[in-house]
Structure 1
């Protein structure tokens, strides 16, 4: 079974599980997430591999991290995630990518991401639930961080934080690759 097949199976199994634990019908989850009922059915039946945006919307609606939807084992207080188990969620032919390094459900989902954006690439995100905070640190290049339509230059060595309950995005408008680490804290579902 390929990595993509394993990811699709894990997402199907865990989406069903968390939807059931939250007591959400297909229609209720579709309304909360802004994702069609048909798409949720296809994901739960492992017939499709959804976009990162769709996966984020479903995780946010369920109040869990993407890590949880992708079946990371929960165990002892210390959990190591080897590099080969980090999940690449998005990539481009130019070499840009996002990689979910690790996450936890303690006091709401909390995730740590590794990003690379090649020159000219970018990624947009819909607003997350109120109370969601993102922190990032640029280690190479200069990131253009767009929050609610306002651009901010974030050069290497600079950190930033913002409330992510508005549309936001990340772009590389420069000539060198941008590398950054990002943490996302999402409030628990109520």
Structure 2
């Protein structure tokens, strides 16, 4: 069974079970035979787009409800599963907690900056924005030539479609931790 057939099979079965519908009732609602629905649910049949539309219309759901992979409502990301990307001679660690999702159009990144860290960033796509909150320590964010000094608990939002940079002084003894959301 190919991948899309598995997705449709799982989504159809889950939908039918959530609504407590028998195959007979789904057949009545959709105009797709009970035997065909059974084959689809078991992944034994690769339904045509017309059949998928009939099922979606009969069940009063969107087409994508049947053909998209279900994503869990809750996702836990353990720190130990996120590999950091280092920069600035290891003085900056970037942890992509929730990597860019093209549907949601944002990503969430944790930053750790040691003393003396400096990381310039090229402008992102037009209209991109960054939301940054300092969780521990202090840091500077430079946007459009202006420097903003931030401490634990401070937050900043800025257009990221211009040059910007993150830095810490050489004298800062503690590690700075921050969380950033980039919206594209």
Larger Rg over CA atoms:
2
Count of matched residue pairs = 114
Residue of structure 2 in register with 1:185 after alignment? 183
Residue of structure 2 in register with 1:113 after alignment? 109
Q: Does 1:166 align with 2:162?
A: yes
1-structure distance, mates of 2:124, 2:75? 26
1-structure distance, mates of 2:146, 2:134? 18
Residue of structure 2 in register with 1:175 after alignment? 172
Gaps of 5+ in 1: 1-72
Shift in CA distance, 96/74, structure 1 to aligned 2, threshold 3 Å: farther
2-structure distance, mates of 1:96, 1:74? 35
1-structure distance, mates of 2:84, 2:97? 9
Residue of structure 1 in register with 2:139 after alignment? 143
1-structure distance, mates of 2:77, 2:110? 13
Q: Does 1:153 align with 2:149?
A: yes
Shift of 1:182: 0.7
Shift of 1:106: 5.7
Residue of structure 2 in register with 1:98 after alignment? 94
C-alpha contact (below 8 Å) 2:123/2:160 kept by paired residues: yes
Shift of 1:143: 0.9
Shift of 1:101: 0.7
Name segments (4+ residues, structure 1) moved above 6 Å.
none
Shift in CA distance, 92/129, structure 1 to aligned 2, threshold 3 Å: closer
> What is the TM-score when the length of structure 2 is the normalising length?
0.55
